[in-house]
Each structure stands twice: as C-alpha cells, then as structure tokens.
Chain A
Amino acid sequence: MRRSLLSTLKSWSQPRNLVIGVPYLWLLAFFAIPFVIVLKISFSWMQPIQPGYAPLLEWVEETRRLVVSFNFDNYQVLLRESLYVDTFLYSVKVAAVSTFWCLLIGYPMAYAIARSKPSTRNLLLMLIILPFWTSFLLRVYAWVGLLKTNGVINNTLLAMGLIDEPLTLLYTDFAVYVGIVYSYLPFMILPLYSNLEKHDLTLLEAAADLGARPFKAFFRVTLPLSMPGIVAGCLLVFIPAVGEFVMPSLLGRTDQLMIGTVLSAQFFGARNWPVAGAVAIVLLLVLLLPILLFQRYQRRELEAARR
C-alpha cells in the first residue's frame, strides 16, 4: 500500500505528468466537479439558512446514525407543474426555428465567401467576424432600438406610407428569433465556410460534363458534401440558444418565458437552489445528445487536419 502510494507520487512528479496535470486538475476542479455539485443539490432539500440547501448525508451525533435525505420532489415538480414542461418545449422550439433561419441565411453567405476570389475571401471573413468582436449585449440592444414601437423600422415604414399604424415587433417571438439569428450567425457561417472551402471543384465540373444543371449539381454534390459543416453550425447555434437568457429578457415575450429565464428566476428570485439545480440537470440531459454529437464532429475535424 505504502509503496504504491509512493510510486504514484513519483509518477505524478514526472515532468510529463505535471504538464498533463495542470490543465487536467483545473478543468476537473472548475468544470467537472461543479456539475457533480449541481447534481447533488438537485436532490437535496431547500433550507432557509446558508448555504440554501440541506446536506444529503448527515451524521447525527445524538442517535449515532448517518441520516440520508434525498429529495426527489425537485424533479417531480418539473413534471407536475406545466410551467416547466411548457418552458422547455418553448425553448427548444425557439432554438430550432432560430437555427433553421441561421442556416438559411448563413449557408448562401458561407457559399458565396468560399467561392469568391482568394484575395477578397479574407476581407469578407473579417467582415463576418468583426461584429462578433463588438459587445454582444450592445448588438442585441441595437435591435431594441430598431424594433420598438417608435423605433427605426416602424418610423421608416410609417414615413414611407407603407403602414398606417406601428407594428408590434418588440417583445415577440419574432424579435427573439431575430436576436438569436443575428448574434449566432458567425457561428453558423464559419464551420460552413471551412467545409465549403475544402470542396474539390472538379466534382462540380464532372457533374456538369455529365449533363447536370448547376441547380441539380448543387443538391447532388455540394449539399451532401457540406453535411458535416451544416451539422456543426446547427449545433453551435442550437445548443447555446436553448439555454439563452439575454435575448428573451431583452427582446422576448413577457407571457412566455424561456428556460434560461426560469432558471435564473428560481435561483435569484425564489432562491430555490434545489429546484434550480434540477432544472439545470434536466436541461443538460436534453442537450447531452447534441453536445456529444458536436464533440464527435470536433474530434473528426482535428483528425482530418492532422492528415
């Protein structure tokens, strides 16, 4: 026992293992363990005093017993109260619709950049990334000014005589879609671009030689080849969008919340950390499959780059 401990310590102090250990321990301590704590709290009872939740295991000195108190009600609440189910479904819907629009707008843009002259390509890419470097919050805020009842869009349309009354644009589903599509568009375009740029254009020439119209060649050659880029882009938009918090609170409806807003309200408003923990765990489970898919894509990309 002692020798194995010693040899473990020895192998840890090897330079190689020290180098591995630094990022490993950091991520373990500040990324993996926090999730274990969330899981733990999601099964505990709420407690009015600090830290806000009761321990799962407690040694009671008087009775000399280890008291185990699990609370499954935090999860049952999520099924019982329609608020949570509704909110989850609504969040997934908003994320899916926004992802779809992102793809519809982003694909032609990525395609156009990938097929433009190499000299203009970098400039165009920079134009796509540039807004991303300016504050995301301020860009969402810009849309508040555009979409308001007396905002720029309504004022313009009124001045042009196209409408008689201002349209209700802000605090609608539409506004949330616009906000998400706007903020996440670069995340759709960049993986699509890096895929489309690698395509072998002689394939399209071959298709044309064999008599395929450009339209058909696109759907039979380019689109299937760009599938990995499409999947990566969609996941990069969809996953964070489900848990989006800023967009719905600045642009969204007040009668229909998204799960991020509910989570934050449970946490800061109701101060019910166990239920908030359960919501976070369920959200994580909902997103687990897409996250694993994305990781697989990321691994393949790196392997392809190495070859």
Chain B
Amino acid sequence: MKQRGWFRGTMLALGLAFLYVPILSMIVFSFNNSRLVTVWDRDNSPTLRWYARLLENDQLLGAAWISIKVAAMTASGAVILGTLAGVVLTRFGPFRGRAFLSAMTTAPLVMPEIITGIAMLLLFVALEQAIGWPSGRGILTITIAHITFAMAYVTVIVQSRLAGFDDSLEEAALDLGAKPATVFFRITLPLIAPALISGWLLAFTLSWDDVVISQFVSGPGSSTLPMEIFSRVRRGVSPDINALATLMVLVVAVGVVLSTLYMRREEQRRLREERMAHNDGNP
C-alpha cells in the first residue's frame, strides 16, 4: 500500500511539473536581457527592459483594452442567458423543444472553435446582406459570438448547482403565496449566487482567451489581445511577450488566491449560520 502511495505522488509531481515548467520558463526569461529570448545573458540580466517596452506598446495596450471590454460584456451577457437556460432546463419541467434547447446548450462545449467561428461569420455576413445589421464586424459581433459559446458553460455550472438543491424551498415559498418571480429573486438566485460568480469568471476568461472565433468575426480596428499576440508569435518569439505572459500569470494568481480565500470565508460563514439555525430549531 505504501508503494502505491509513492507511485501516485511521483505521477502527480511529474504531471504538475509538466504543467508549470513552461510557465516558469516564460517568467524567468522575461527578465533576460538578451534578444535571443532563450539564451540567458548572464552579464546584463535580470532586467526589466521588456516590461518597460511593453508599457510603451500602444498597439498591445489598445488590444488589451478591447479584450477587457469584450470579456466584461460577454461575461455579463453569458451569465444572464446561461442562468435563464439553466433554470429553464432544471426547474421548468417538460416543454416543447426542451431536448433541442438542451442540445444547443451542450454542443458549444465541444464544438471545434473553427466551425463556430465560420458559422458565426457567415451568419453576420448574411444578416448584413439581408437587414443591414450588424453593419460591418467589430466589438459587437465578437461579443455576440463570445456570449453564445460562453453561455453554454454558465448553463452547465448553473444546472449542476441547481441539481444539488431540491426545489422544496421554492415550492414552500410558492405554497405560501409568493409569485414565481419573487421566488426566483429571493430564493433561487441567492442559492445559485456562487455558481453565478464562478460562471462570470469562467465566461470572462473564455472570452479573454479566445483567438480563433475572434479572428473570424472581428473587423478592422477591433483586434483583441489574443489576436495581437497570435500574429506576433507567428512571426517568431519576442521577449516582450514573455513579460506580458508574466504579468498575466501574476494577475491570475493574485485573483485566484483572493477569490479562494473569499469563497472559503463565505463557506465557513454559511456553515456557522446553518449550525446556529439548526441549534435554534432544536434547543
């Protein structure tokens, strides 16, 4: 038994090394002075020159700003639509077209991005021909496309959160005469709030990260950050991309640590309150 534990630990360590060594190497070489990127310049490193150059790069910064805007709009839209879809699929019972809706919410999870991208672009082109909207392609079309695939993830998260609760609370409220809308906002929504937060963050990341779909549905002047990175990386490695990667890893790491701490505190508070409520009921 002990031997098996050793084997598991080794596999886990190797796997984690595989996941983290490339990221660590980017971080290390972001401080490298040499233009050759992967050849360490011992005399002049570490240096911050690539970070300084990054801050002067208006093209990348502009693209980053577009990406942030698109990702924030995507996340909000996806949470609203995904929550509706998740609630409809778990709480509304049978209705005509339910199976079709269910299929349409899981298909984007595995659909190769390139197919989604082409289909979206052809839709926008056909729409523009037919009704003149959306005129041209840009931030609006990117956001619509991102919402469509990101809402699928939110739907799954909301569905599994709702499946974890039985609907007795909601039914009790309905029996007591609350309107369905009141029940949704006062009971269902607070119950699934953690799922909405993680859904928002996931949708934001999916949008922030997407390059393939954006490439199809973007227009001139609306390059997102991944699109800018992609076109640079295709031309070869450049040291300021390492600096950019390091900054992004830093932001994500800080964000994840903070949100984990917050979630843990909330969970503990909830458990404490539940215990107190329980004690009140049984003196």
B232 — nearest CB in chain A belongs to which residue? A141
Digit string of A216-246 for contact with B (CB within 8 Å is 1, else 0)?
A: 0000000000000000000110011011111
Interface residues of B, count at CB 8 A: 91
A276 — nearest CB in chain B belongs to which residue? B118
B4 — nearest CB in chain A belongs to which residue? A214
- A148 CA / B95 CA spacing, docked (Å): 56
Q: Does A28 contact B (CB under 8 A)?
A: yes
Complex contact B22–A182 (CB within 8 A): yes
Complex contact A141–B119 (CB within 8 A): no
- A134 CA / B53 CA spacing, docked (Å): 21
Cβ-neighbour of A249 out of B111, B129, B234 (below 8 A): B234
Complex contact A148–B237 (CB within 8 A): yes
Complex contact B25–A38 (CB within 8 A): no
**Of residues 2 to 30 in A, which have CB atoms within 8 Å of B's CB atoms?**
15-16, 19-20, 22-24, 26-28, 30
Interface size class of A (residues with CB under 8 A): 35 or more
Q: Does A180 contact B (CB under 8 A)?
A: no
Complex contact B123–A126 (CB within 8 A): no
Given contacts A291-B110, A295-B107, contact A20 B25 (CB under 8 A): no
Complex contact B38–A280 (CB within 8 A): no
Residue of A31, A37, A51, A109 with most chain B CB atoms under a 10 A cut-off: A31
Name the segment of A56-64, A81-89, A149-157 touching the other chain. A149-157
Cβ-neighbour of A246 out of B8, B81, B115, B212 (below 8 A): B212
Complex contact A145–B29 (CB within 8 A): yes
Cβ-neighbour of B112 out of A22, A23, A32, A239 (below 8 A): A239
Complex contact A23–B211 (CB within 8 A): no
B-chain residues with CB within 8 Å of residue A280 when the two chains form the complex: 114-115, 118-119
A-chain residues with CB within 8 Å of residue B115 when the two chains form the complex: 38, 243, 280, 283-284
Main secondary structure of the interface of B (DSSP, over half): helix
- A98 CA / B226 CA spacing, docked (Å): 24
B-chain residues with CB within 8 Å of residue A109 when the two chains form the complex: 11-12, 15-16
**Of residues 225 to 283 in B, which have CB atoms within 8 Å of A's CB atoms?**
226, 229-230, 233-234, 237, 241-242, 244-245, 248-249, 252-253, 255-256, 260
Complex contact B8–A31 (CB within 8 A): no
A-chain residues with CB within 8 Å of residue B226 when the two chains form the complex: 135, 137
Q: Smallest distance from the beta carbon of B100 to chain A beta carbons, Å?
A: 8
Q: Smallest distance from the beta carbon of A114 to chain B beta carbons, Å?
A: 10
Name the segment of B44-52, B144-152, B170-178 touching the other chain. B144-152
Digit string of A144-177 for contact with B (CB within 8 Å is 1, else 0)?
A: 1110101110010000000000000000000000
Residue of A27, A145, A250, A294 with most chain B CB atoms under a 10 A cut-off: A27
Cβ-neighbour of B244 out of A38, A116, A138 (below 8 A): A138
Main secondary structure of the interface of A (DSSP, over half): helix
B242 — nearest CB in chain A belongs to which residue? A145
Complex contact A250–B163 (CB within 8 A): no
Q: Does B187 contact A (CB under 8 A)?
A: no
Cβ-neighbour of A23 out of B109, B118, B151 (below 8 A): B151
Digit string of A90-119 for contact with B (CB within 8 Å is 1, else 0)?
A: 000000000000000110110111011000
Cβ-neighbour of A134 out of B12, B120, B242, B245 (below 8 A): B245
A294 — nearest CB in chain B belongs to which residue? B110
Complex contact B38–A151 (CB within 8 A): yes
Q: Smallest distance from the beta carbon of B86 to chain A beta carbons, Å?
A: 9
Given contacts A19-B84, A23-B85, A31-B107, contact A302 B245 (CB under 8 A): no
Complex contact A108–B15 (CB within 8 A): yes
- A210 CA / B19 CA spacing, docked (Å): 39
Q: 12 additional contacts, CB 8 Å, given A138-B248, A145-B25?
A: A20-B101, A23-B82, A27-B151, A31-B108, A38-B118, A112-B12, A135-B226, A236-B110, A242-B112, A280-B115, A294-B110, A306-B90
Name 15 A/B residue pairs within 8 A (Cβ), A-sorted.
A19-B84, A23-B85, A23-B155, A32-B104, A37-B122, A105-B15, A105-B18, A108-B12, A109-B15, A130-B256, A144-B233, A145-B242, A243-B112, A280-B118, A284-B115
Show the binding face of B for A, using Cβ within 8 Å.
Answer: 1, 4, 7-9, 11-12, 15-16, 18-23, 25-26, 29, 36-39, 81-82, 84-85, 87-88, 90, 92, 95, 97, 101-115, 118-120, 122-123, 125-126, 129, 144-145, 147-148, 151, 155-156, 159-160, 163-164, 180-181, 205, 208-209, 211-212, 216, 226, 229-230, 233-234, 237, 241-242, 244-245, 248-249, 252-253, 255-256, 260
The 10 closest A-B pairs by CB, nearest first: A243-B112, A34-B119, A142-B22, A108-B11, A23-B85, A112-B8, A305-B163, A34-B123, A112-B12, A138-B245
